[in-house]
Structure 1
Amino acid sequence: MPLFTPEQCRAARGLLDWTQEELAERAEVSRSTIRDFENSRHHLHPTTANQVVAALERGGALLIPSDEAGPGVRLRKPIG
């Protein structure tokens, strides 16, 4: 995913009902990294962004790339 936005991060956490601490733990990054990114204080290093995106995807979030309507997030349909 080329661009991962703070808004997508907050929305995905909300859909998964995760705190910043839970996401940080699952992504193996600090809570301050998540907090500062979500508050648009800084961009994520590409490796860190990949870790955060992977954690959200493992949790069941589907990050939708930006199109004419903008980026989005939705829950994956459960398998089975």
Structure 2
Amino acid sequence: MKVITGAQIRMARGFLKWSAKQLAEEAGLGVATVIRMEEYDGLPNAKGANIEAVYDVLQKALKERGAVLTYNDGHGPGVCLKKPVSE
């Protein structure tokens, strides 16, 4: 499993100009879950299947809007935009 860091989630939200509440709504999660995931830059202390499920929906919601999480570009985890952000 690729670990999404809290920094990646925060960066992606910044690119998309979304609040934590907006990301939560797009991903079908509670805002507290998004905030909790943003607090960790490694693997949070929770069950692996739960973390994977949350990360999967977060990553899908971000990717659908063009924010792609990167992992092996020689600089570590990051975020890039694949298409223009629609307002």
State the TM-score bracket (shorter-chain normalisation): 0.7 to 0.9
Query: Aligned partners of 1:38, 1:31: CA distance in 2, in Å?
Result: 11
Q: Does 2:22 align with 1:27? A: no
Matched, 1:37 2:76: no
Instruction: Give 1:67 shift.
Output: 4.7
- Deviation at 1:66? 3.8
Normalised to the residue count of structure 2, the TM-score between the two structures is 0.79
TM-score w.r.t. length of structure 1: 0.85
Q: 1:61 aligns with which of 61, 67, 79?
A: 67
Identity %: 36
Helix, strand or coil at the partner of 1:26: helix
Q: Post-superposition, which runs of at least 4 consecutive aligned residues in structure 1 deviate over 6 A?
A: none
Secondary structure of the equivalent of 1:14?
Answer: helix
3-state SS in 2 of match to 1:49: helix
Higher strand content, 1 or 2: 1
Q: Which of 78, 82, 86 is equivalent to 1:72? A: 78
- C-alpha separation in 2, matches of 1:47 and 1:5: 15
**Is there any run of 5+ residues in structure 1 with no aligned partner, and where?**
none
User: Where does residue 14 of structure 2 map in the other structure?
Assistant: 14
Where in structure 2 are there 5+ consecutive unaligned residues? 45-49
Pairwise CA distance, 1:77: 3.1
Please report how far the alpha carbon of residue 26 of structure 1 lies from its aligned counterpart in structure 2 after TM superposition: 0.5
